[in-house]
Structure 1
């Protein structure tokens, strides 16, 4: 797979993970009446989960974005 396509797919998957997890947590906090819609708490929730996602995506990137031995042999 082309390295650029793999990179775009990798980032796209992490954006979906971030959106899903932070939205579910936001829904739980809203239904639990911890904070109101469009409040600072809601912004902090999405920012915090975004930061956590960036950390995880950066840590796992070496496993998924490095070229495997078979792909490196194919390009030679």
Structure 2
């Protein structure tokens, strides 16, 4: 599989994971009346979970694709 396809699949998997994670957290907060549906709390949850997902994607990239990193001289 070429590098572009690996990158596309890696990013797609992280986007799906991020949306699933944030939806589960958001549903829990709405169910427990932390905030109401459609409010600013949902946007804040989505934003914070996006930061977590981006950090996770960057930190795990070296583990997932060790052969795709540029070789240091």
Runs of 4+ in structure 1 displaced over 4 angstroms? none
Match of 1:60 in 2: 60
Contact kept? 1:7, 1:65, Cα under 8 Å: no
Please state which structure has a larger fraction of its residues in helix.
1
State the alpha-carbon separation in 1 of the partners of residues 16 and 43 from structure 2.
Answer: 18
Which segment drifts farther, 58-67 or 27-36? Answer: 58-67
**Structure 1 residue 17 corresponds to structure 2 residue 17:** yes
Which residues of structure 2 form unaligned runs of 5+?
69-73
Contact kept? 1:35, 1:41, Cα under 8 Å: yes
Equivalent residue pairs, number: 68
RMSD across aligned positions (CA):
1.2
Normalization by structure 2: what TM-score?
0.86
